[in-house]
Amino acid sequence: MEICCSGRIMHCRSVCCNHWSSEERLDGKTVIITGANTGIGKETARDLARRGARIIMACRDLERAEEARTDILEDTGNENVVIRKLDLSDIKSIRAFAEIINKEEKQVNILINNAGIMMCPFSKTADGFEMQLGVNHLGHFLLTYLLLDLIKRSAPARIVIVASVAHTWTGLHLDDINSERSYDPMKAYGQSKLANVLFARSLAKRLQGSGVSVFSLHPGVVQSDLWRHQHQCIQVAVKIFRIFTKTTVEGAQTTIYCAVEPSLESLSGGYFSDCAPARCSRTASNDDLAQKLWEVSCNILGITWQ
């Protein structure tokens, strides 16, 4: 009976997950992964370390990051895995991180904007932004801006943005982007993920001809710490229906695909799911809206980025 159940689980997952594998090597390449101490970020770091890359784990919780680094080192034998402090909810931390990277690193070939927070109670970042928008979009927007010159000098290079199918849940409320008049955790999360897809689209257009490609993606419904803010009933439901969800290893595959698959160079700006091009929402394809979000983001962060 247990064997039968196991077979059904594997079958369900094989239906949900487009299996992809590659022997592509990353020797001599440097990869930054935000939120690399847990979940799909950790599994992404493990896979790319196994491919020979220098991995920079950009993490807020240094203790958990050290535990993850030890695990990755023991598993892959790659000692070129380092930890750098990064709190995406604090502009000072983002700027300090970028300053260290620009000073110490000769190249950044792949930037993976992976860290995120999901459907948390209303709170604000250190700089007064709604937490989900601040961490998921604005923090990564600023980080990318601060590292972009180094990334360009490292071309061919890639920027991979972990978004979500949740971008289809809502629109972009530019007149109340910090959800101060009305806060719905699900809609705020959806808005932050929509911002991820729009950012990738706009950035790719600006980087045409630079040798830097940009991709956004939906990792799938993954069994990870992202569910920690959900009501206990939802957490129980996720566990009950785990046969239809992805493990963290499975959830990391589309990120890895966008980071290393050689055939994607002509698809910069695209949105991916299950290791293949996917269709994003009509709103996420709106270039005028993407431009407005770009301008609002720059204004909020106090930066000039044409």
Active site residues: 189
Beta-sheet strand order (sheet of 30-34): 81-85, 54-59, 30-34, 110-113, 157-162, 212-218, 271-273, 276-277
Q: In this structure, are residues 65 and 54 in contact, taking their beta carbons and an 8 Å threshold? A: no
CA-CA distance, 193 to 216, in Å (whole number)?
A: 10
Residue 233: phi and psi, rounded to 5, are -65, -40
d(CA 57, CA 42): 9
Per the DSSP assignment, residues forming a β-bridge with 277 are 272
Torsion 289-222-41-209 (CA) sign: negative
Return all residues near 240 (Cβ < 8 A) that are at least 6 apart. none
- CA atoms of 264 and 214, how far apart (whole Å): 10
Which runs of consecutive H residues, i.e. helices, occur in the chain?
Answer: 2-16, 39-50, 62-76, 91-104, 131-133, 140-153, 185-206, 232-240, 248-251, 253-260, 287-301
H/E element, 35? none
